[in-house]
Structure 1
Amino acid sequence: MRINGSEILINTLIDEGVDIIFGYPGGAVLNIYDAIYKNENRIKHVLSCHEQGAAHAADGYSRATGKVGVCLATSGPGATNLVTGIATAYMDSVPMVAITGNVTTPLLGKDSFQEVDIVGITMPVTKHNFIVRDVEELQQTIRKAFYIAKEGRPGPVLIDIPKDITAKLCEYESKEPIEVKKEYKFVTDKALANFADFINKAKRPLIFAGGGVISSGATEILKELALKINAPVTTSLMAMGAFPGDNELYTGMIGMHGTKASNLLATKADLIIAIGTRFSDRVVGSRDHIKNAKVIQIDIDPAELDKNIKTDANIVGDVKYTLEKLIDLIDEKRNDQWLELMREYKALKGHKEDAENLTPELLFNSLYKDFGEDLVMTTEVGQHQMWAALHYTFLRPRTLITSGGLGTMGYGLGASIGAKLALPHKKVVNIAGDGSFSMNAIELATAVSNRVPVVIIILNNGCLGMVRQWQNFFYESRYSYTTLNRGTDYVKLAEAYGAKGFRVTEPSELNEVLDKAFNSEVPVVIDYVINIDKKVFPMVAPGAPIDDIISEA
């Protein structure tokens, strides 16, 4: 079958199992959009208000499903507007394919109208990228892009397609996706036996799970390991839900805003079993902070082993496969004294209870009580993000969708749209701060026009809360440009977009508003008004030992 490049693109996306594209049209991608129009019964397109919103929606779709998300933009500013979303996906190992148009091949490199070297720009924040200069290479390039996005440690791939390539004719034949074969050559009997020896000798083991547990589908085998050795389990932000949050062994998030239990246990453990995590600076700043423990690590990316924390043993391999091979070599343990210490630490509070006022704790407790079994949560970035991690109980993987590595304000709304379209039967809520929400609030129009009934809850404290908190602790309360004073009426803003808006100022109002919001057929914005001085506790100062905890209680 002889068809043009645009039709090859759409047909190959369908071959790869793509059912939805998030994008924004422009001159360089007109041929592609014409092909989308002709195939609208085979593939859905969601028009964002800004290309960054399209990238975040593709990212949210991917995190919610584990599938490859796809976004599309035109050349020049359209392509550069995707960069923040691509970088967000890269830092959190999210499989995504970003497709950009470009000027025709004869005009490349001539500073043509709306021309940028998007391949050069995105090279540091993609697993790989391509520019297609021959239509004969287009189909195979797309197939390779999807393979690379999924293979090994997942991540984003960019395909840049000049406009003339989208118009040229070429033979096309439908093909199955390239099979992703997992690499197991480093998961040897010797490495597994050495790993098992560390675990079997440990008296105070602590499991530290990262996002790789979710990416590899290893949540069940992780639980089996934890129960077999009776080890407390802590997670990174990316791994919330990888281990059931209501299980007795779960101690919460670790790190700068980790729970007291997780941070203190890390300093008392004699073995830390790090699984699918990279020891970022927001988790453990130095090996000196956990000097009582030996550290063993499993990760699919060899670059992450010994990069931030020197390990005593490590294995390069898929987390699920490695744990399945390891589990039969592990002895059962009781660890009674260790678990008693865990329970003592879990009883410690990092914040003061407040039953009189609107608080983050009240919000997240109410959300869990009413919708916990059926809720997918996205977040923006800031205090509200940390409150969600600390106070909401995540029971299953892929139920917290948040920007961890890059910390992208404005991420959550687009991501919630992608997640809701991927999981229409689930209730999807975006937790926002007023600063983050304002960055990409225009995507509310995307939600309304595409009838995506997400709920946005703005923890409105009238400031850039996390930055202001740092100014309070480390800059003698010099609040330089973090008090917003914008006077935005978020209820009226929601209504202007065609959404519903509610304001909550008293605890007694919350449950009724939540019930109305989650039963709405249109998007809802809830303006949840909290005190400007409300802080995230516990907290560890940057570079400080993780047991040097600043707390409110």
Structure 2
Amino acid sequence: MSTSGSTSGSTSGTSRLTVAQALVRFLAAQYTERSGIRQRLITGTWGIFGHGNVAGIGQALVEYADDMPFHQGRNEQAMVHAAVGYARQSGRLCAQAVTTSIGPGATNLVTGAALATINHIPVLLLPGDVFASRPADPVLQQLEVPYAGDVSVNDCLRPVSKYFDRITRPEALIPAALQAMRVLADPAETGAVTLALPQDVQAEAWEWPEEFFRERVWRVAEQMPEQRDLYDAVRAVRAAGRPLIIAGGGVHHSRAEHVLGLLAEQTGIPVASTQAGKGSLVHDHSQDVGGIGHTGTATANQLARTADLVIGVGTRYTDFTTASGTLFDNPDVRFVNLNIAGFDAHKMGGISLVGDARVGLQQLWDKLREHVVDTEIIPAHRVDPAYEMDYREAKARWEDLVSQAYAVPDEKMPPTQAQVLGLLDELVTGDDILINAAGSLPGDLHKLWRTRSRDQYHVEYGYSCMGYEIPAAIGVKLAAPDRPVWALVGDGTYLIMPTEIVTAVQEGIAIKVVILQNHGYASIGGLSEAVGGERFGTAYRFRAGDGTYTGDPLPVDLAANAESLGMRVLRAGTVRDLREALKEARASDVPTCVYVETETADTVSGVPPAQAWWDVPVAETASRPSAVEAREEYDRQARARRRHL
């Protein structure tokens, strides 16, 4: 990643501006460029104003309203989620800023910042801070730390930021702002970037060099792997009998879908996907074998268990992907890891290819094609036809299970969660974008959803943050205004953060929200039962006579809540109702909610169970039979755990 020189304007003289005005003007002149395409880096600012930023950043955004679009939010965490959704849909080449007041407004950013950093998505955070000059001590909302006078609540953002600085003098903004842009535009380092702005410094004026405000283009380099490592990888691929590619989020970030598909088609190597990588190949691609890991398909997981070579492309190898270290159990398995981040490329041992996914895959395929070495013709590489037949037949069997889960025997009955997905599957095209993050839906989507385009599947599973879906849908819709955008939420997630419905209504952002009401934390309830927790504290019900939450369901009307926030609401009581409501919502040009109560009994849900283990520690000693049995199963599974070095 590098910067280019000035493209317009004077580079001499000075301008007297406040720190906040200078920052906004600076941000409006920053661009990214990749493959010759230039875009604004910071395309807008989200904000909630209080005494920490109202007269600083707030005034500056008024001053430069034509240069920096503004979006009014309702919750600080949600504003970060919206900015993350926007940046992800924009391929990480465009980002948005989020400004808050000091105190609780700033600390509300922490969850969103963690989500952005974990998922490697750029977002600029501009929280207000306490007075740098300390005219009164403490001021309203100031955290007093007796042993350190330079600590504020904004220091909570340090561990979840990829870059952090506190601007205590005007001139300090210049190096800090440049470093902030560098990190935001760096595909290996990007995440949340925080510039904490003391409220007095925001409003302080200074003579700024015009050079600071020139247009800068941050070129996103397509780093090439080391050639020696690449040759080692080629030899490993040619020697493998059962290779498997794992496509992670890096495939999407580098726009490597096409070259991945070409390599897979020409070599016959099957491609499994993580949550972040799903859609790297569309569902009917001959080499796509679906999701991998704890929420993956039986096809992909069996291939992983027998693979003698695993080629990870842009994946972090989370515990869900590796089944907590139990999935890759071929004693001879080796790994080739292609990743822009050296930290991730060196996981799992094996051969590390540090570089851009698209460039690395292209070079790998170039060397696997027919070529000549010292007059000897090296034939193009392709896996054994029997291996291809094996995984294609397994994929067909899995597709039969998906169809069974989607099947509707009685349209007059309430739908199961899988049937809700099946009805959406009938309706959508490659234009539609589905957003989800938490609960049981990510697992069902990873197993069942048939992706039709490279960016249709938007499941945030790096942080799996409840409350992400609705604000993220707003951000995605801002980045893709002509496409249908769906936020799929359970009742637990909806209750955590419905606030940005008001923003969608205010701005006329026609997102579609599907609320699945199953009266509690269904996903954790199922996990609790599996690990001996007996679904304790996971249902949304009244207390029974014994004090447990096993009474009648709570009389909460989430549809009425969404309607009270200004959204158009369509209620669906049966499969037939739901089919019509989804069609109507897709055609709607206003924010629309589809509300449905789902059938929750496992016996009728139809979703295949987990195809691989996930390590959730179980009580080592207990008197209740459920916990004792769960621990026995835990010990059995844990014995298969393996470190790949």
Give the TM-score taking structure 1 as reference length.
0.93
State the match for 2:522 in structure 1. Answer: 465
Q: Give the one of 341, 365, 369 matched to 1:301.
A: 341
Q: Find out whether 1:123 has 2:158 as its counterpart.
A: yes
Q: Kindly tell me: are residues 474 and 329 of structure 1, through their superposed partners in 2, closer, same or farther at Cα, counting changes over 3 Å?
A: same
State the match for 1:133 in structure 2. Answer: 168
Q: Tell me the distance in 1 between the aligned counterparts of 2:142 and 2:293.
A: 43
CA contact (8 A) 1:208 1:273 kept: yes
State the match for 2:618 in structure 1. Answer: none
Measure how far apart 1:408 and its partner are. 0.7
Measure how far apart 1:109 and its partner are. 11
Q: Find out whether 1:488 has 2:556 as its counterpart.
A: yes
Q: Find out whether 1:91 has 2:118 as its counterpart.
A: yes
State the match for 1:194 in structure 2. Answer: 232
Superposed, which structure 2 residues align to 1:35-434 within 5 Å? Answer: 35-66=60-91, 67-107=94-134, 110-115=137-142, 117-153=152-188, 154-170=190-206, 171-173=208-210, 174-177=213-216, 179-180=218-219, 182=221, 184=223, 187-285=225-323, 289-292=327-330, 293-307=333-347, 309=348, 311-330=349-368, 331-349=380-398, 353=405, 354-355=407-408, 356=410, 357=413, 358-434=415-491
State the match for 1:27 in structure 2. Answer: 51
AA aligned to 2:48 is Y
Measure how far apart 1:93 and its partner are. 0.9
Q: Secondary structure at the match of 1:179?
A: strand
Tell me the alpha carbon deviations over residues 72-121 of structure 1, each in whole angstroms, 9 at most, x when there is no partner: 11111111001100001111111111111112212399543223524521
Q: Kindly tell me: are residues 108 and 235 of structure 1, through their superposed partners in 2, closer, same or farther at Cα, counting changes over 3 Å?
A: farther
Q: Kindly tell me: are residues 108 and 294 of structure 1, through their superposed partners in 2, closer, same or farther at Cα, counting changes over 3 Å?
A: farther
Tell me the alpha carbon deviations over residues 426-452 of structure 1, each in whole angstroms, 9 at most, x when there is no partner: 111100000001100122112111211
Measure how far apart 1:528 and its partner are. 1.8
CA contact (8 A) 1:54 1:71 kept: yes
Q: Tell me the distance in 1 between the aligned counterparts of 2:260 and 2:137.
A: 54
CA contact (8 A) 1:218 1:320 kept: yes
Q: Tell me the distance in 2 between the aligned counterparts of 1:462 and 1:230.
A: 45
Q: Tell me the distance in 2 between the aligned counterparts of 1:108 and 1:420.
A: 44
Measure how far apart 1:362 and its partner are. 2.8
Q: Tell me the distance in 1 between the aligned counterparts of 2:435 and 2:177.
A: 29
Q: Percent identity?
A: 25
Q: Tell me the distance in 1 between the aligned counterparts of 2:153 and 2:483.
A: 36
CA contact (8 A) 2:133 2:200 kept: no
CA contact (8 A) 1:212 1:299 kept: yes
AA aligned to 1:463 is G
Q: Secondary structure at the match of 1:106?
A: coil
Tell me the alpha carbon deviations over residues 137-195 of structure 1, each in whole angstroms, 9 at most, x when there is no partner: 3244223212202214221111111122222223152223353453747x222111101
Measure how far apart 1:395 and its partner are. 3.0
RMSD: 2.3
Q: Secondary structure at the match of 1:238?
A: coil
Q: Find out whether 1:542 has 2:582 as its counterpart.
A: no
Q: Secondary structure at the match of 1:458?
A: strand
Measure how far apart 1:476 and its partner are. 6.6
CA contact (8 A) 1:144 1:178 kept: no
Where has structure 1 moved over 6 Å in runs of 4 or more? none
Q: Secondary structure at the match of 1:220?
A: helix
Of residues 317-326 and 201-210 in structure 1, the stretch that sits farther from structure 2 once superposed is 317-326
Q: Tell me the distance in 1 between the aligned counterparts of 2:179 and 2:449.
A: 39
State the match for 1:13 in structure 2. Answer: 27
Q: Tell me the distance in 2 between the aligned counterparts of 1:118 and 1:63.
A: 28
Equivalent pairs counted in the alignment come to: 544
CA contact (8 A) 2:89 2:476 kept: yes
CA contact (8 A) 1:204 1:269 kept: yes
Q: Give the one of 510, 514, 521 matched to 2:578.
A: 510
CA contact (8 A) 2:431 2:453 kept: no
Which runs of 5 or more residues in structure 1 are unaligned? Answer: 549-553
CA contact (8 A) 2:97 2:126 kept: yes
Q: Tell me the distance in 1 between the aligned counterparts of 2:472 and 2:61.
A: 22
Q: Tell me the distance in 2 between the aligned counterparts of 1:23 and 1:400.
A: 28
Q: Tell me the distance in 1 between the aligned counterparts of 2:256 and 2:88.
A: 15
CA contact (8 A) 1:89 1:155 kept: yes
State the match for 1:551 in structure 2. Answer: none
Q: Tell me the distance in 2 between the aligned counterparts of 1:283 and 1:412.
A: 22
Q: Tell me the distance in 2 between the aligned counterparts of 1:456 and 1:538.
A: 27
Q: Tell me the distance in 2 between the aligned counterparts of 1:100 and 1:248.
A: 48
Of residues 524-533 and 432-441 in structure 1, the stretch that sits farther from structure 2 once superposed is 524-533
Q: Tell me the distance in 2 between the aligned counterparts of 1:345 and 1:255.
A: 16
Q: Secondary structure at the match of 1:207?
A: strand
Q: Secondary structure at the match of 2:133?
A: helix
Q: Tell me the distance in 1 between the aligned counterparts of 2:252 and 2:311.
A: 16
Q: Tell me the distance in 1 between the aligned counterparts of 2:537 and 2:66.
A: 52
Q: Tell me the distance in 2 between the aligned counterparts of 1:181 and 1:455.
A: 33
Q: Kindly tell me: are residues 108 and 481 of structure 1, through their superposed partners in 2, closer, same or farther at Cα, counting changes over 3 Å?
A: farther
Q: Secondary structure at the match of 2:596?
A: strand
Give the TM-score taking structure 2 as reference length.
0.80
